[in-house]
Structure 1
Amino acid sequence: MTNEEIYLRLKEVLVESFMIEESAIRPEANLYTDLDFDSIDAIDLAAKIHLVTGKQLKPEQFKNVRTVNDAVEAVAELLRS
């Protein structure tokens, strides 16, 4: 998957699973301050990523994820491993 494909899939997940307005989802959007994520949402997102990729993010891979683009990069790294 390319980063663009990951971004589009992640955007779908955010809209469908977290009821976030599509227009609010931008690469630079902060998950916590712009999209109102909390720690439970972060865990849910990691679980959704596992369902989509078949691979599990380790907590240390996800703890530095702050923006949508950070999440895309984390998934891209996960898929490369």
Structure 2
Amino acid sequence: MDINTIIAVTNKFLVEEFEANPESITPEANMKSTLDLDSLDYIDMVVVIEDNFGFKVNPEDFQAIVTFQDFYDYVANRVQQKELV
């Protein structure tokens, strides 16, 4: 799966599941403040990621994610690792 597909799928579920404004989802935007995420939202996000991309997410992985670009890179790296197995 290429990065453009990952970004498209990710942005689609952010808009659908978290009612995000599509225009506010930019690579450099702060993900937590843009989506107004609380701890329960992160749990929901883990489930959505696992369903859409087929890999297990460690909740502590989110500590290193600040921007949407960080999030896209995280998903891309995990998908790539999964495809290599």
Deviations 1:30-61 (A, max 9, x none): 11222211222122112111001111112333
Question: Quick one: which amino acid aligns to residue 16 of structure 1?
Answer: E
Q: TM-score, normalised by structure 2?
A: 0.84
Which structure dedicates a bigger proportion of its chain to helix?
2
In 2, distance between residues paired with 1:48 and 1:74? 14
Structure 1: gaps spanning 5 or more residues:
none
Q: Would you say 1:5 and 2:24 are equivalent positions?
A: no
Contact persistence 2:18–2:35 (CA under 8 A) = no
In 2, distance between residues paired with 1:39 and 1:70? 19
The CA RMSD measured in Å over matched residues stands at: 1.3
Deviations 1:2-21 (A, max 9, x none): 11211111100010001111
1:79 alignment partner in structure 2: 79
